[in-house]
Amino acid sequence: MTEHEDPSRDRLKQHFAQRVINQARQVLEVWQRLQRSEWHDSGLLELGEASLLLQRYAERFEQVEHAQLARQIGQCLQLATDNRGRLNSQLISQLSELMQRLSRTGLRHGDTFEQTVLPPLRKPVYLALQHHEQAEQLAQRLAFFGMSAVALDSANAFRSAMLERHPAAILMEVDFSGPGLGLQLAEAVQEGLEQKIPLLFFSHQDTDTPTRLAAVRAGGMEFFTGTLDASNLFERIEVLTHVAQYDPYKVLIIDDSKAQATHTERVLNSAGIITRTLLEPLQAMDQLADFQPDLIILDMYMPACNGPELAKVIRHNDRYVSVPIIYLSAEDDLDKQLDAMSEGGDDFLTKPIKPRHLIATVRNRAARARSLKARMVRDSLTGLYNHTHTLQLLEDARVRAERDGQPLSFAMIDIDYFKKVNDTYGHPMGDRVIKSLALFLKQRLRKSDHIGRYGGEEFAVVMPDTDAETAKRVLDDIRERFAQIQFSAQPHDLSCTFSSGIAQLGAGLDGKLLSQQADQALYVAKHGGRNRVDVFSA
Protein backbone atom coordinates (compact mmCIF):
# COMPACT_ATOMS: atom_id res chain seq x y z
CA MET A 1 0.00 0.00 0.00
CA THR A 2 1.42 3.41 -0.95
CA GLU A 3 1.78 6.23 1.51
CA HIS A 4 -1.05 8.13 -0.20
CA GLU A 5 -3.38 5.17 0.25
CA ASP A 6 -2.57 4.70 3.95
CA PRO A 7 -5.99 5.07 5.65
CA SER A 8 -4.46 5.81 9.07
CA ARG A 9 -2.50 8.70 7.54
CA ASP A 10 -5.67 10.06 5.92
CA ARG A 11 -7.53 9.83 9.25
CA LEU A 12 -4.68 11.59 11.03
CA LYS A 13 -4.64 14.31 8.39
CA GLN A 14 -8.40 14.78 8.75
CA HIS A 15 -8.07 14.91 12.54
CA PHE A 16 -5.50 17.70 12.39
CA ALA A 17 -7.38 19.51 9.65
CA GLN A 18 -10.26 19.83 12.12
CA ARG A 19 -8.05 22.40 13.84
CA VAL A 20 -8.59 24.59 10.81
CA ILE A 21 -12.36 24.37 11.29
CA ASN A 22 -12.05 25.19 15.00
CA GLN A 23 -9.78 28.16 14.30
CA ALA A 24 -12.18 29.40 11.62
CA ARG A 25 -14.90 29.39 14.25
CA GLN A 26 -12.61 31.32 16.57
CA VAL A 27 -12.17 34.03 13.91
CA LEU A 28 -15.95 34.20 13.47
CA GLU A 29 -16.52 34.50 17.22
CA VAL A 30 -14.11 37.46 17.47
CA TRP A 31 -15.90 39.08 14.52
CA GLN A 32 -19.23 38.50 16.27
CA ARG A 33 -18.01 40.28 19.42
CA LEU A 34 -16.79 43.22 17.36
CA GLN A 35 -20.24 43.52 15.79
CA ARG A 36 -21.75 44.06 19.25
CA SER A 37 -19.25 46.66 20.50
CA GLU A 38 -17.10 49.55 19.37
CA TRP A 39 -14.28 48.36 17.13
CA HIS A 40 -11.42 49.21 19.48
CA ASP A 41 -7.75 48.52 18.73
CA SER A 42 -7.52 45.46 21.00
CA GLY A 43 -10.48 43.82 19.25
CA LEU A 44 -8.96 44.36 15.81
CA LEU A 45 -5.63 43.05 17.12
CA GLU A 46 -7.34 39.90 18.43
CA LEU A 47 -9.06 39.42 15.06
CA GLY A 48 -5.70 39.80 13.31
CA GLU A 49 -4.02 37.24 15.56
CA ALA A 50 -6.87 34.75 15.13
CA SER A 51 -6.80 35.07 11.33
CA LEU A 52 -2.98 34.72 11.26
CA LEU A 53 -3.25 31.49 13.26
CA LEU A 54 -5.96 30.30 10.87
CA GLN A 55 -3.64 31.02 7.93
CA ARG A 56 -0.81 29.01 9.52
CA TYR A 57 -3.04 26.02 10.28
CA ALA A 58 -4.62 26.13 6.83
CA GLU A 59 -1.27 26.25 5.01
CA ARG A 60 0.11 23.44 7.18
CA PHE A 61 -2.89 21.16 6.63
CA GLU A 62 -3.33 22.05 2.94
CA GLN A 63 -6.71 23.80 3.27
CA VAL A 64 -6.31 26.21 0.36
CA GLU A 65 -9.62 28.09 0.66
CA HIS A 66 -9.16 28.79 4.38
CA ALA A 67 -5.60 29.98 3.81
CA GLN A 68 -6.70 32.37 1.06
CA LEU A 69 -9.54 33.82 3.16
CA ALA A 70 -7.26 34.24 6.19
CA ARG A 71 -4.69 36.11 4.06
CA GLN A 72 -7.39 38.41 2.68
CA ILE A 73 -8.71 39.13 6.19
CA GLY A 74 -5.16 39.95 7.26
CA GLN A 75 -4.71 42.27 4.28
CA CYS A 76 -7.90 44.17 5.17
CA LEU A 77 -6.74 44.59 8.77
CA GLN A 78 -3.30 45.72 7.58
CA LEU A 79 -4.96 48.41 5.45
CA ALA A 80 -6.81 49.58 8.57
CA THR A 81 -3.52 49.67 10.51
CA ASP A 82 -1.86 51.68 7.74
CA ASN A 83 -4.79 54.11 7.99
CA ARG A 84 -3.97 54.79 11.69
CA GLY A 85 -6.31 52.03 12.84
CA ARG A 86 -9.31 53.54 11.05
CA LEU A 87 -11.78 51.39 9.18
CA ASN A 88 -13.82 52.75 6.32
CA SER A 89 -17.01 51.45 4.75
CA GLN A 90 -15.14 49.62 2.01
CA LEU A 91 -12.98 47.69 4.49
CA ILE A 92 -15.97 46.82 6.67
CA SER A 93 -17.88 45.55 3.60
CA GLN A 94 -14.87 43.48 2.51
CA LEU A 95 -14.43 41.99 5.97
CA SER A 96 -18.14 41.21 6.17
CA GLU A 97 -18.06 39.41 2.82
CA LEU A 98 -14.94 37.45 3.81
CA MET A 99 -16.57 36.37 7.09
CA GLN A 100 -19.67 35.22 5.21
CA ARG A 101 -17.49 33.13 2.91
CA LEU A 102 -15.53 31.77 5.86
CA SER A 103 -18.77 30.67 7.54
CA ARG A 104 -19.57 28.54 4.48
CA THR A 105 -16.21 26.81 3.99
CA GLY A 106 -15.48 23.11 4.43
CA LEU A 107 -12.54 20.73 4.57
CA ARG A 108 -10.88 19.59 1.35
CA HIS A 109 -9.22 16.17 1.27
CA GLY A 110 -7.69 15.18 -2.04
CA ASP A 111 -10.44 15.38 -4.64
CA THR A 112 -13.34 15.19 -2.20
CA PHE A 113 -15.05 18.07 -0.49
CA GLU A 114 -16.76 17.82 2.86
CA GLN A 115 -19.22 20.70 3.22
CA THR A 116 -19.22 21.94 6.80
CA VAL A 117 -21.45 24.79 7.87
CA LEU A 118 -19.59 26.97 10.33
CA PRO A 119 -21.83 28.86 12.69
CA PRO A 120 -19.73 30.54 15.37
CA LEU A 121 -21.15 28.04 17.87
CA ARG A 122 -18.03 26.08 18.88
CA LYS A 123 -19.42 24.44 22.00
CA PRO A 124 -21.93 21.59 21.74
CA VAL A 125 -25.50 21.60 23.03
CA TYR A 126 -26.24 19.16 25.88
CA LEU A 127 -29.42 17.08 25.54
CA ALA A 128 -30.68 15.62 28.84
CA LEU A 129 -33.81 13.62 28.00
CA GLN A 130 -35.40 10.66 29.78
CA HIS A 131 -35.23 8.49 26.66
CA HIS A 132 -31.59 8.36 25.60
CA GLU A 133 -32.46 6.98 22.16
CA GLN A 134 -34.69 9.99 21.52
CA ALA A 135 -31.85 12.31 22.57
CA GLU A 136 -29.41 10.58 20.19
CA GLN A 137 -31.87 10.85 17.29
CA LEU A 138 -32.36 14.55 18.05
CA ALA A 139 -28.57 15.05 18.11
CA GLN A 140 -28.32 13.45 14.66
CA ARG A 141 -31.05 15.72 13.29
CA LEU A 142 -29.42 18.82 14.73
CA ALA A 143 -26.21 17.76 12.97
CA PHE A 144 -28.07 18.09 9.64
CA PHE A 145 -28.42 21.80 10.45
CA GLY A 146 -24.75 22.17 11.39
CA MET A 147 -25.21 22.07 15.18
CA SER A 148 -23.17 19.78 17.43
CA ALA A 149 -25.17 18.12 20.23
CA VAL A 150 -24.29 15.56 22.92
CA ALA A 151 -26.93 13.17 24.32
CA LEU A 152 -26.48 12.45 28.05
CA ASP A 153 -28.13 9.43 29.68
CA SER A 154 -27.97 10.16 33.43
CA ALA A 155 -27.61 12.89 36.03
CA ASN A 156 -24.02 11.77 36.71
CA ALA A 157 -23.17 11.90 33.00
CA PHE A 158 -24.64 15.40 32.86
CA ARG A 159 -22.64 16.60 35.89
CA SER A 160 -19.44 15.06 34.50
CA ALA A 161 -19.97 16.75 31.14
CA MET A 162 -20.56 20.10 32.88
CA LEU A 163 -17.33 19.72 34.85
CA GLU A 164 -15.40 18.90 31.70
CA ARG A 165 -16.86 21.63 29.47
CA HIS A 166 -19.70 24.13 29.54
CA PRO A 167 -22.08 23.80 26.59
CA ALA A 168 -23.50 26.47 24.28
CA ALA A 169 -26.98 25.61 25.62
CA ILE A 170 -28.82 22.90 27.59
CA LEU A 171 -32.05 21.13 26.68
CA MET A 172 -33.33 19.56 29.93
CA GLU A 173 -36.43 17.40 30.38
CA VAL A 174 -38.18 18.43 33.60
CA ASP A 175 -38.34 14.79 34.76
CA PHE A 176 -34.80 13.82 33.68
CA SER A 177 -33.48 11.18 36.16
CA GLY A 178 -36.71 11.36 38.15
CA PRO A 179 -39.94 13.38 38.65
CA GLY A 180 -39.00 17.08 38.76
CA LEU A 181 -35.29 16.31 39.15
CA GLY A 182 -34.39 17.88 35.81
CA LEU A 183 -35.49 21.27 37.16
CA GLN A 184 -33.32 20.86 40.26
CA LEU A 185 -30.35 19.60 38.27
CA ALA A 186 -30.46 22.50 35.82
CA GLU A 187 -30.80 25.06 38.59
CA ALA A 188 -27.85 23.55 40.51
CA VAL A 189 -25.41 23.70 37.59
CA GLN A 190 -26.23 27.38 36.97
CA GLU A 191 -25.38 28.43 40.52
CA GLY A 192 -22.25 30.51 40.78
CA LEU A 193 -21.90 30.96 37.01
CA GLU A 194 -21.09 34.55 36.11
CA GLN A 195 -22.51 34.05 32.62
CA LYS A 196 -25.62 31.86 32.63
CA ILE A 197 -25.94 29.09 30.05
CA PRO A 198 -29.04 29.32 27.82
CA LEU A 199 -31.43 26.75 29.30
CA LEU A 200 -34.43 25.18 27.53
CA PHE A 201 -36.89 22.84 29.24
CA PHE A 202 -38.98 20.04 27.77
CA SER A 203 -41.95 17.98 28.95
CA HIS A 204 -43.87 15.29 27.06
CA GLN A 205 -47.08 16.46 28.71
CA ASP A 206 -48.49 19.96 28.92
CA THR A 207 -47.50 21.30 32.34
CA ASP A 208 -49.16 23.38 35.01
CA THR A 209 -48.25 26.94 35.94
CA PRO A 210 -46.20 25.98 39.06
CA THR A 211 -43.95 23.74 36.92
CA ARG A 212 -43.43 26.47 34.36
CA LEU A 213 -42.78 28.97 37.15
CA ALA A 214 -40.17 26.61 38.60
CA ALA A 215 -38.59 26.40 35.12
CA VAL A 216 -38.41 30.20 34.93
CA ARG A 217 -36.83 30.36 38.40
CA ALA A 218 -34.31 27.71 37.37
CA GLY A 219 -33.26 30.00 34.50
CA GLY A 220 -35.34 28.50 31.71
CA MET A 221 -35.59 30.68 28.62
CA GLU A 222 -37.87 28.38 26.62
CA PHE A 223 -40.32 25.57 27.39
CA PHE A 224 -41.20 22.88 24.83
CA THR A 225 -44.05 20.37 25.21
CA GLY A 226 -45.22 17.39 23.19
CA THR A 227 -42.91 16.49 20.27
CA LEU A 228 -39.43 17.95 19.89
CA ASP A 229 -38.78 19.29 16.40
CA ALA A 230 -35.10 19.68 15.46
CA SER A 231 -35.67 22.74 13.26
CA ASN A 232 -37.68 24.53 15.99
CA LEU A 233 -35.05 23.70 18.59
CA PHE A 234 -32.22 24.82 16.31
CA GLU A 235 -33.85 28.18 15.63
CA ARG A 236 -34.47 28.88 19.33
CA ILE A 237 -30.91 27.93 20.31
CA GLU A 238 -29.58 30.07 17.47
CA VAL A 239 -31.48 33.07 18.84
CA LEU A 240 -30.63 32.42 22.51
CA THR A 241 -26.92 31.96 21.84
CA HIS A 242 -26.75 35.09 19.67
CA VAL A 243 -25.28 33.35 16.65
CA ALA A 244 -23.42 35.97 14.65
CA GLN A 245 -25.17 38.64 12.66
CA TYR A 246 -22.70 38.93 9.79
CA ASP A 247 -24.41 41.89 8.14
CA PRO A 248 -23.15 45.20 9.54
CA TYR A 249 -25.73 47.97 9.71
CA LYS A 250 -25.82 50.29 6.69
CA VAL A 251 -26.38 54.03 7.11
CA LEU A 252 -26.96 56.63 4.37
CA ILE A 253 -25.69 60.07 5.40
CA ILE A 254 -27.30 62.98 3.51
CA ASP A 255 -25.50 66.23 4.30
CA ASP A 256 -24.28 69.04 2.04
CA SER A 257 -21.31 69.68 4.39
CA LYS A 258 -18.48 67.35 3.40
CA ALA A 259 -16.60 67.98 6.65
CA GLN A 260 -19.61 67.09 8.82
CA ALA A 261 -20.47 64.04 6.70
CA THR A 262 -16.86 62.79 6.88
CA HIS A 263 -16.84 63.17 10.67
CA THR A 264 -20.11 61.21 10.97
CA GLU A 265 -18.72 58.53 8.66
CA ARG A 266 -15.58 58.10 10.76
CA VAL A 267 -17.52 57.82 14.00
CA LEU A 268 -19.86 55.15 12.60
CA ASN A 269 -17.10 53.27 10.75
CA SER A 270 -15.22 53.00 14.05
CA ALA A 271 -18.16 50.93 15.30
CA GLY A 272 -18.17 48.65 12.23
CA ILE A 273 -21.15 50.38 10.60
CA ILE A 274 -21.11 50.72 6.80
CA THR A 275 -21.84 54.25 5.58
CA ARG A 276 -22.44 55.99 2.30
CA THR A 277 -22.39 59.78 2.04
CA LEU A 278 -24.58 61.83 -0.28
CA LEU A 279 -23.78 65.53 -0.66
CA GLU A 280 -26.53 66.11 -3.24
CA PRO A 281 -29.93 65.46 -1.60
CA LEU A 282 -31.77 65.33 -4.93
CA GLN A 283 -29.96 62.04 -5.70
CA ALA A 284 -31.42 60.42 -2.58
CA MET A 285 -33.97 58.09 -4.21
CA ASP A 286 -31.41 56.55 -6.60
CA GLN A 287 -29.00 55.95 -3.71
CA LEU A 288 -31.72 54.43 -1.54
CA ALA A 289 -32.60 51.87 -4.23
CA ASP A 290 -28.95 50.96 -4.77
CA PHE A 291 -27.66 50.99 -1.16
CA GLN A 292 -30.76 49.79 0.74
CA PRO A 293 -29.74 51.36 4.08
CA ASP A 294 -31.03 50.33 7.50
CA LEU A 295 -31.16 53.98 8.55
CA ILE A 296 -30.84 57.52 7.14
CA ILE A 297 -29.02 60.41 8.83
CA LEU A 298 -30.36 63.66 7.42
CA ASP A 299 -29.18 67.25 7.76
CA MET A 300 -31.93 69.77 8.53
CA TYR A 301 -30.76 72.62 6.31
CA MET A 302 -29.41 72.08 2.78
CA PRO A 303 -29.44 74.45 -0.24
CA ALA A 304 -31.42 72.26 -2.66
CA CYS A 305 -34.08 71.28 -0.14
CA ASN A 306 -34.44 71.04 3.62
CA GLY A 307 -34.47 67.83 5.62
CA PRO A 308 -38.21 67.60 6.34
CA GLU A 309 -39.02 68.08 2.65
CA LEU A 310 -36.69 65.26 1.66
CA ALA A 311 -38.12 63.07 4.44
CA LYS A 312 -41.60 63.53 2.91
CA VAL A 313 -40.30 62.52 -0.54
CA ILE A 314 -38.69 59.38 0.94
CA ARG A 315 -41.86 58.43 2.84
CA HIS A 316 -43.92 58.65 -0.36
CA ASN A 317 -42.29 55.40 -1.47
CA ASP A 318 -43.81 52.37 0.28
CA ARG A 319 -40.44 50.57 0.32
CA TYR A 320 -38.94 53.18 2.65
CA VAL A 321 -41.85 53.84 5.00
CA SER A 322 -40.16 51.92 7.83
CA VAL A 323 -36.57 53.12 7.31
CA PRO A 324 -35.68 55.31 10.35
CA ILE A 325 -34.72 58.91 9.60
CA ILE A 326 -32.55 60.71 12.16
CA TYR A 327 -32.04 64.45 11.85
CA LEU A 328 -28.54 65.56 12.79
CA SER A 329 -28.37 69.36 13.06
CA ALA A 330 -27.17 72.26 15.14
CA GLU A 331 -30.81 73.38 15.44
CA ASP A 332 -31.60 73.66 19.15
CA ASP A 333 -35.08 75.19 18.91
CA LEU A 334 -37.32 72.48 20.38
CA ASP A 335 -40.40 73.59 18.41
CA LYS A 336 -38.50 73.32 15.13
CA GLN A 337 -37.15 69.94 16.15
CA LEU A 338 -40.68 68.70 16.89
CA ASP A 339 -41.96 70.10 13.58
CA ALA A 340 -39.19 68.25 11.74
CA MET A 341 -40.02 65.05 13.60
CA SER A 342 -43.66 65.31 12.51
CA GLU A 343 -42.52 65.33 8.87
CA GLY A 344 -41.35 61.73 8.74
CA GLY A 345 -38.43 61.84 11.18
CA ASP A 346 -37.84 59.34 13.98
CA ASP A 347 -35.24 61.12 16.10
CA PHE A 348 -33.42 64.45 16.39
CA LEU A 349 -29.78 64.69 17.46
CA THR A 350 -28.23 68.07 18.12
CA LYS A 351 -24.65 68.83 17.07
CA PRO A 352 -22.13 68.47 18.57
CA ILE A 353 -22.96 64.95 19.67
CA LYS A 354 -20.79 62.50 21.59
CA PRO A 355 -19.61 59.62 19.35
CA ARG A 356 -20.88 56.94 21.74
CA HIS A 357 -24.31 58.60 21.83
CA LEU A 358 -24.47 58.67 18.03
CA ILE A 359 -23.33 55.02 17.72
CA ALA A 360 -25.80 53.78 20.35
CA THR A 361 -28.71 55.69 18.78
CA VAL A 362 -27.92 54.39 15.28
CA ARG A 363 -27.48 50.81 16.47
CA ASN A 364 -30.70 50.76 18.49
CA ARG A 365 -32.79 52.36 15.74
CA ALA A 366 -31.29 50.15 13.01
CA ALA A 367 -31.85 46.99 15.08
CA ARG A 368 -35.52 47.85 15.63
CA ALA A 369 -35.95 48.73 11.97
CA ARG A 370 -34.53 45.38 10.87
CA SER A 371 -36.82 43.57 13.27
CA LEU A 372 -39.87 45.51 12.03
CA LYS A 373 -38.95 45.01 8.38
CA ALA A 374 -38.50 41.28 8.99
CA ARG A 375 -42.07 41.10 10.26
CA MET A 376 -43.36 43.04 7.25
CA VAL A 377 -41.55 41.17 4.47
CA ARG A 378 -41.17 37.67 5.95
CA ASP A 379 -43.44 34.67 6.10
CA SER A 380 -44.59 33.99 9.67
CA LEU A 381 -44.13 30.20 9.57
CA THR A 382 -40.65 29.96 8.06
CA GLY A 383 -39.06 33.38 8.54
CA LEU A 384 -38.29 33.44 4.80
CA TYR A 385 -39.21 36.36 2.55
CA ASN A 386 -42.86 36.43 1.49
CA HIS A 387 -44.03 36.13 -2.12
CA THR A 388 -44.28 39.87 -2.82
CA HIS A 389 -40.89 40.75 -1.35
CA THR A 390 -39.19 37.82 -3.12
CA LEU A 391 -40.33 39.21 -6.48
CA GLN A 392 -39.07 42.67 -5.45
CA LEU A 393 -35.68 41.17 -4.57
CA LEU A 394 -35.63 39.34 -7.91
CA GLU A 395 -36.25 42.60 -9.76
CA ASP A 396 -33.52 44.39 -7.75
CA ALA A 397 -31.09 41.55 -8.51
CA ARG A 398 -32.01 41.66 -12.20
CA VAL A 399 -31.21 45.38 -12.40
CA ARG A 400 -27.83 44.85 -10.69
CA ALA A 401 -26.98 41.81 -12.85
CA GLU A 402 -27.65 43.74 -16.08
CA ARG A 403 -25.73 46.77 -14.81
CA ASP A 404 -22.69 44.73 -13.71
CA GLY A 405 -22.79 42.15 -16.51
CA GLN A 406 -23.07 39.25 -14.05
CA PRO A 407 -25.19 36.07 -14.30
CA LEU A 408 -28.37 35.64 -12.26
CA SER A 409 -30.36 32.48 -11.64
CA PHE A 410 -33.83 32.04 -10.18
CA ALA A 411 -34.97 28.71 -8.74
CA MET A 412 -38.41 27.40 -7.84
CA ILE A 413 -38.62 24.54 -5.32
CA ASP A 414 -41.64 22.38 -4.53
CA ILE A 415 -41.92 19.62 -1.89
CA ASP A 416 -42.92 16.34 -3.54
CA TYR A 417 -46.23 14.67 -2.61
CA PHE A 418 -46.84 17.28 0.07
CA LYS A 419 -50.64 16.78 0.05
CA LYS A 420 -50.03 13.16 0.99
CA VAL A 421 -47.93 14.31 3.98
CA ASN A 422 -50.78 16.52 5.20
CA ASP A 423 -53.45 13.89 4.58
CA THR A 424 -51.49 11.05 6.23
CA TYR A 425 -49.71 12.80 9.10
CA GLY A 426 -51.72 16.00 9.59
CA HIS A 427 -51.03 19.67 8.97
CA PRO A 428 -48.72 20.13 12.00
CA MET A 429 -46.35 17.59 10.42
CA GLY A 430 -46.67 19.40 7.10
CA ASP A 431 -45.65 22.63 8.83
CA ARG A 432 -42.63 20.87 10.37
CA VAL A 433 -41.48 19.68 6.94
CA ILE A 434 -41.88 23.18 5.47
CA LYS A 435 -39.95 24.77 8.35
CA SER A 436 -37.20 22.17 8.11
CA LEU A 437 -36.68 22.76 4.40
CA ALA A 438 -36.68 26.52 4.99
CA LEU A 439 -34.00 26.15 7.65
CA PHE A 440 -32.04 23.71 5.48
CA LEU A 441 -31.98 26.22 2.61
CA LYS A 442 -30.90 29.05 4.94
CA GLN A 443 -28.07 26.92 6.27
CA ARG A 444 -26.71 25.78 2.92
CA LEU A 445 -27.18 28.74 0.61
CA ARG A 446 -25.03 31.87 0.59
CA LYS A 447 -25.84 34.99 2.55
CA SER A 448 -26.17 36.82 -0.77
CA ASP A 449 -28.88 34.42 -2.00
CA HIS A 450 -32.48 35.46 -1.27
CA ILE A 451 -34.82 32.68 -0.17
CA GLY A 452 -38.58 33.14 -0.21
CA ARG A 453 -41.66 31.11 0.55
CA TYR A 454 -43.64 31.44 -2.63
CA GLY A 455 -46.78 29.91 -1.16
CA GLY A 456 -47.82 26.63 0.46
CA GLU A 457 -45.05 24.09 -0.04
CA GLU A 458 -43.35 26.14 -2.78
CA PHE A 459 -40.12 28.11 -2.31
CA ALA A 460 -38.09 30.47 -4.50
CA VAL A 461 -34.38 31.36 -4.47
CA VAL A 462 -32.77 34.40 -6.10
CA MET A 463 -29.10 33.54 -6.79
CA PRO A 464 -26.98 36.55 -7.86
CA ASP A 465 -23.63 36.01 -9.62
CA THR A 466 -24.64 32.42 -10.36
CA ASP A 467 -25.19 30.70 -13.70
CA ALA A 468 -27.81 27.99 -14.13
CA GLU A 469 -25.39 25.04 -14.10
CA THR A 470 -23.78 26.19 -10.84
CA ALA A 471 -27.22 26.73 -9.32
CA LYS A 472 -28.18 23.20 -10.40
CA ARG A 473 -25.11 21.68 -8.69
CA VAL A 474 -25.83 23.57 -5.46
CA LEU A 475 -29.52 22.66 -5.34
CA ASP A 476 -28.83 19.04 -6.30
CA ASP A 477 -26.53 18.73 -3.28
CA ILE A 478 -29.17 20.29 -1.01
CA ARG A 479 -31.84 18.01 -2.51
CA GLU A 480 -29.79 14.87 -1.78
CA ARG A 481 -29.04 15.94 1.79
CA PHE A 482 -32.63 16.99 2.55
CA ALA A 483 -33.87 13.55 1.45
CA GLN A 484 -31.77 12.00 4.25
CA ILE A 485 -33.62 13.80 7.05
CA GLN A 486 -35.96 11.60 9.08
CA PHE A 487 -38.99 13.23 10.72
CA SER A 488 -40.36 11.53 13.85
CA ALA A 489 -43.91 10.40 13.11
CA GLN A 490 -46.42 7.63 13.75
CA PRO A 491 -46.74 4.86 12.69
CA HIS A 492 -43.24 5.27 11.21
CA ASP A 493 -40.72 8.01 10.54
CA LEU A 494 -41.14 10.17 7.47
CA SER A 495 -38.69 11.47 4.86
CA CYS A 496 -39.44 13.97 2.08
CA THR A 497 -37.93 15.09 -1.22
CA PHE A 498 -38.31 18.16 -3.40
CA SER A 499 -38.18 19.07 -7.08
CA SER A 500 -36.69 22.27 -8.49
CA GLY A 501 -36.71 24.30 -11.68
CA ILE A 502 -34.04 26.87 -12.55
CA ALA A 503 -33.91 29.71 -15.08
CA GLN A 504 -31.00 32.01 -15.90
CA LEU A 505 -31.40 35.67 -16.79
CA GLY A 506 -31.07 36.31 -20.51
CA ALA A 507 -31.37 39.29 -22.82
CA GLY A 508 -34.79 40.93 -22.81
CA LEU A 509 -36.05 39.08 -19.74
CA ASP A 510 -37.69 40.80 -16.82
CA GLY A 511 -38.35 39.31 -13.38
CA LYS A 512 -41.81 38.10 -14.37
CA LEU A 513 -40.61 36.17 -17.42
CA LEU A 514 -37.66 34.74 -15.48
CA SER A 515 -40.00 33.39 -12.79
CA GLN A 516 -42.27 31.91 -15.49
CA GLN A 517 -39.31 30.07 -17.02
CA ALA A 518 -38.27 28.68 -13.63
CA ASP A 519 -41.86 27.55 -13.09
CA GLN A 520 -41.83 25.76 -16.46
CA ALA A 521 -38.57 24.00 -15.50
CA LEU A 522 -40.17 22.95 -12.20
CA TYR A 523 -43.12 21.51 -14.16
CA VAL A 524 -40.67 19.43 -16.21
CA ALA A 525 -38.95 18.18 -13.02
CA LYS A 526 -42.31 17.22 -11.46
CA HIS A 527 -43.51 15.35 -14.51
CA GLY A 528 -40.08 13.77 -15.09
CA GLY A 529 -40.30 11.71 -11.91
CA ARG A 530 -39.86 14.27 -9.07
CA ASN A 531 -36.90 14.48 -6.67
CA ARG A 532 -34.79 16.17 -9.34
CA VAL A 533 -33.52 19.57 -10.51
CA ASP A 534 -34.13 20.79 -14.07
CA VAL A 535 -32.86 23.87 -15.89
CA PHE A 536 -35.16 25.77 -18.27
CA SER A 537 -34.47 25.15 -21.94
CA ALA A 538 -36.27 26.92 -24.75
Please check whether residue 530 lies inside any domain of the structure: yes
Q: Quick one: pLDDT at residue 127?
A: 95
CA–CA separation, 414 and 454 (whole Å): 9
pLDDT at 104: 64
Predicted local distance difference test score (pLDDT) of residue 121: 45
In whole angstroms, what is the distance from residue 176 CA to residue 173 CA?
A: 5
Q: How confident is the model at residue 111 (pLDDT cuts 50, 70, 90)?
A: very low
**How many domains does one find in the chain?**
4
CATH number for position 392: 3.30.70.270
* pLDDT at residue 41, rounded to an integer: 65
What's the whole-number average pLDDT of the chain?
83
> Where is pLDDT greater, at 14 or 423?
423
What is the average per-residue pLDDT within 457-479? 94
Do residues 170 and 93 share a domain? Answer: no
* Residues 353, 371 within the same domain: yes
| Burial of residue 112, with CB atoms counted within 10 A of its CB: 0-12 exposed, 13-18 middle, 19 or more buried | exposed
Check residue 70 and give its pLDDT: 92
CATH at 201? 3.40.50.2300
pLDDT tens, 471-512? Answer: 999 999 999 989 988 887 777 788 999 999 999 998 778 888
396 with 528, same domain? yes
407 shares its domain with 528: yes
Nearest alpha-carbon partner for 535 in 523, 507, 527: 523
Helices 230-240 and 132-144 cross at an angle (nearest 10°) of 70
pLDDT in tens, 67-78: 999 999 999 888
Give the lowest-confidence range in 33-37, 95-99, 270-274: 33-37
**Residue 358 shares a structural domain with residue 478:** no
* ∠ CA 96-284-301, rounded to 5°: 115
The yes-or-no verdict on residue 3 having pLDDT over 70 is no
Identify the band that residue 10 occupies on the pLDDT scale cut at 50, 70 and 90: low
Residue with the larger pLDDT of the pair 57 and 123:
57
Task: Note whether 406 and 324 are same-domain residues.
Answer: no
CATH number where 69 lies = 1.20.120
Q: Is the pLDDT of residue 318 over 50?
A: yes
pLDDT digits (tens, 9 = 90+) for 360-385: 899 889 888 887 877 778 887 888 89
380 part of a folded domain: no
pTM for this one?
Answer: 0.59
Instruction: Name the pLDDT band for 452 (thresholds 50, 70, 90).
Output: very high
Please state, in angstroms and as integers, the Cα–Cα distance from residue 490 to each residue in 78, 168, 496, 523, following that order.
58, 31, 15, 31
My answer on whether 475 and 525 are in the same domain is yes
45 contacts 77 by C-beta, under 8 angstroms = no
- Mean local confidence (pLDDT), 12-19: 64
Same domain? 267 vs 167:
no
State how far the Cα of 380 lies from the Cα of 388, in Å rounded to an integer: 14
Confidence (pLDDT) at 340: 67
Place 221 in a pLDDT band, splitting at 50, 70 and 90: confident
**Parent domain of 222:** 125-240
Tell me the range of 167-181, 305-319, 322-336 where mean pLDDT is highest. 167-181
Domain assignment present for 477: yes
State yes or no: pLDDT of 315 exceeds 90: no
Same domain for 130 and 217: yes
Distance CA 460, CA 167 (A): 36
Per the domain annotation, does 120 fall within a domain? no
pLDDT at 534 over 90: yes
- Predicted confidence band of residue 61 (pLDDT cuts 50, 70, 90): confident
Please state the φ and ψ torsions of residue 39, each to the nearest 5 degrees. -80, 75
> Is 382 within a domain?
no
User: Does any domain span residue 135?
Assistant: yes
Pick from 240, 265, 287: which residue ends a domain? 240
* pLDDT for the residue 157: 92
